[in-house]
Structure 1
């Protein structure tokens, strides 16, 4: 995947009126071996370009020098680094950066963004998982044992699969944005890599002057019976409430004292052919809150780690055979006076040779190993179907 033609900017949460009018001004790409603090690097880079990431509470005063905003991507390993947590196993896609910040100007009428390139031949081979269903189930059993010992209360386990491809992967990755419920649908790419996202989950946004996070926990098939079962499940509700409490605590670290509220609890919403339970938690930001401190407080997302967060990250690092790469991190848009980052569940990536997908779920004492394996497969199925649609050959 080299020297690909330019495409219109379609980063998740990019303002709708800007998507066809953006020209890249500058970018920062960082990988774990580079060293340093990715949260501080992102904040300093954005502040140097006039985004004002050093104080997210400062009112927007216009767009300096034509600046529109920036795409911000954080891998799962970078998110763990921000929290001083175990980074996990090595990534299966080392071509991808662990942090990418891409700053955009608005194009002038004389310098329009190029139209989308025509889709060429596309082929995807067989998916090879990084663990078998039996190994996945054994990991669930091991997590239940850790819960029984009192090491953790909940751990999110994530599996990975890869498939070879030929052709330009970006049209396939862009199809993820059209999946039903993809609140953070979109793409981001660089030399030799590309990411596609169909996430429904808000990691953190600033809305009406408040910090907002919307953790998702609890899944059932999108049928009438599935909805009733999700609402009645004591196991799913307990799993969900644990993460709500964790996210309340995370927000409180960067919020004005006494302002954290749960605005909506256990609302059932649809993503593709699944019902999922979502809550909304918000808080007034502390005076002078900068992006770096916000990322350190919220990353990695509690719904994809577990509780307590650092202990859960230790279990994840010991049990998952490969790293989470582009998944379970963050991807979205930041501009003066604006921040909207999705948590990269339902996310796929491409390097020069392979497509990568990840899927998993939260494990509690009440988890059934076989049911957890089936739930992860159900989450991965629509993503893989979108990626393989339109194949000229498909083994």
Structure 2
């Protein structure tokens, strides 16, 4: 990615692959073979088109229960896959919400990678210090407007329209220079299970997500919903474990995820492997559960995407009603956030939920943060929680703002 200029940010396909969940042992030997992008104006079913595109490039994903074939070190390895929250809403027939504040960013991206004999240059190998300046953050709504949205969700819960809605805010800052180093700092934040970068002409995504949207491992589908946040102190951990409100909110989403997996699983195989485990991301404690199910015979990637996108922990319950509330309340689109980003290959799926994620276009850096709203939510506390989640992301992006990165 070059310095910001008239042509905007650009991809550098010759660098090492930093896509979240890409095989660690392959990253230095991967080279882009093919790329496909989708925007709503393109029409059609993006999930079906993803599956067809992968099959056409040597990555059949029509039966995830089938064991993977032998690995060819000189052939196709796998693909990075990105599905935005708006695309996920489209897949389930819901309102995709407000317009993307970073319109250069596609709503679905697939990048197929093969192996190259010579290791590619790593994105982080250059010793040169690149200029980077990040301006002041401008939110898309005020704290008072955010609090009003929380109050509106509580009213909807009181009417019986929904049980829970995840409300997300957005902010953007102008920048100058090469954003890749800043996105790498973001991807390296502690607890970033899906730390990585995906780039394209005129855009880039940096992800520091700790949350698994869906993983396929040893014949089981796995999701790890996160709900419940406190400061990473001894008192914060005790408060999170003792909070009836946080536990109720969490279990509601676990039930939603059990239902989502149940639609594409072998009958009777869904189970909760771990409930309300407290784990750390940066300076926050978060509650995480693990839900798994045996993959059904003949399940293809397209049907899996329709079942799990958009993720329940960033929509609410019931999912379709929650998405209607999101579309009505949020003033700008979720862009790169609250979607899916990771790696797919025959016999392997590993997609993170794009929380703690930033996007870059030709002029601005974009960040999003929010939280689940229940009847017991306090508007001011929800605004403060969203700010706490955004703070490490903003800090990582602001590094070197007065000169070199």
TM-score normalized by the length of structure 2:
0.95
Listed as ranges, the matches of 1:358-373 within 5 Å are: 358-373=368-383
Listed as ranges, the matches of 1:198-347 within 5 Å are: 198-347=208-357
1:90 correspondence with 2:99: yes
Whole-Å separation in 2 of the counterparts to 1:233 and 1:115: 44
Whole-Å separation in 1 of the counterparts to 2:116 and 2:348: 20
Whole-Å separation in 1 of the counterparts to 2:151 and 2:376: 11
Whole-Å separation in 2 of the counterparts to 1:105 and 1:90: 34
Aligned to 1:384: 394
Find the residue that maps to 2:131 and give its secondary structure: coil
1:26 correspondence with 2:45: no
Whole-Å separation in 2 of the counterparts to 1:14 and 1:324: 24
Find the residue that maps to 1:122 and give its secondary structure: strand
1:69 correspondence with 2:69: no
Whole-Å separation in 2 of the counterparts to 1:33 and 1:160: 24
Q: CA deviation at 1:2?
A: 4.0
Deviates more, 1:2-11 or 1:20-29: 2-11
Whole-Å separation in 1 of the counterparts to 2:403 and 2:97: 35
* Preserved contact between residue 17 and residue 122 of structure 2 (Cα < 8 Å): no
Number of equivalences: 392
Q: CA deviation at 1:343?
A: 0.3
Whole-Å separation in 2 of the counterparts to 1:353 and 1:387: 14
* Preserved contact between residue 63 and residue 336 of structure 1 (Cα < 8 Å): no
Deviates more, 1:130-139 or 1:38-47: 38-47
Whole-Å separation in 2 of the counterparts to 1:237 and 1:338: 32
Whole-Å separation in 2 of the counterparts to 1:200 and 1:149: 34
The counterpart of 1:113, out of the listed 110, 116, 120, is 120
* Preserved contact between residue 124 and residue 393 of structure 1 (Cα < 8 Å): no
Whole-Å separation in 1 of the counterparts to 2:18 and 2:81: 12
User: Unpaired segments of 5 or more residues in structure 2?
Assistant: 1-7
Whole-Å separation in 1 of the counterparts to 2:108 and 2:11: 21
Residues 308-337 of structure 1: per-residue CA shift (max 9 Å, x gap): 000000000000000000000000001121
Find the residue that maps to 2:338 and give its secondary structure: coil
Aligned to 1:35: 43
Whole-Å separation in 1 of the counterparts to 2:268 and 2:121: 48
* Preserved contact between residue 119 and residue 168 of structure 1 (Cα < 8 Å): no
Q: CA deviation at 1:171?
A: 1.4
* Preserved contact between residue 85 and residue 310 of structure 1 (Cα < 8 Å): yes
Find the residue that maps to 2:195 and give its secondary structure: strand
RMSD of aligned C-alpha atoms? Answer: 1.2
Deviates more, 1:385-394 or 1:130-139: 385-394
Whole-Å separation in 2 of the counterparts to 1:2 and 1:202: 29
Whole-Å separation in 1 of the counterparts to 2:182 and 2:10: 18
Aligned to 2:4: none
Q: CA deviation at 1:3?
A: 4.3
Aligned to 1:56: 64
Deviates more, 1:12-21 or 1:242-251: 12-21
Whole-Å separation in 2 of the counterparts to 1:98 and 1:390: 30
Residues 17-57 of structure 1: per-residue CA shift (max 9 Å, x gap): 11111100000011112111111111111111121211111
User: Unpaired segments of 5 or more residues in structure 1?
Assistant: none
Relative to structure 1, the CA distance from residue 2 to residue 158 in structure 2 (aligned partners, 3 Å threshold; closer, same or farther) is closer
Residues 127-185 of structure 1: per-residue CA shift (max 9 Å, x gap): 00000000000000000000000000000000000000001111111111211100000
* Preserved contact between residue 74 and residue 330 of structure 1 (Cα < 8 Å): yes
Residues 102-146 of structure 1: per-residue CA shift (max 9 Å, x gap): 00011113xx31243444100000000000000000000000000
1:348 correspondence with 2:355: no
* Preserved contact between residue 11 and residue 199 of structure 2 (Cα < 8 Å): no
TM-score normalized by the length of structure 1:
0.97
Q: CA deviation at 1:393?
A: 4.8
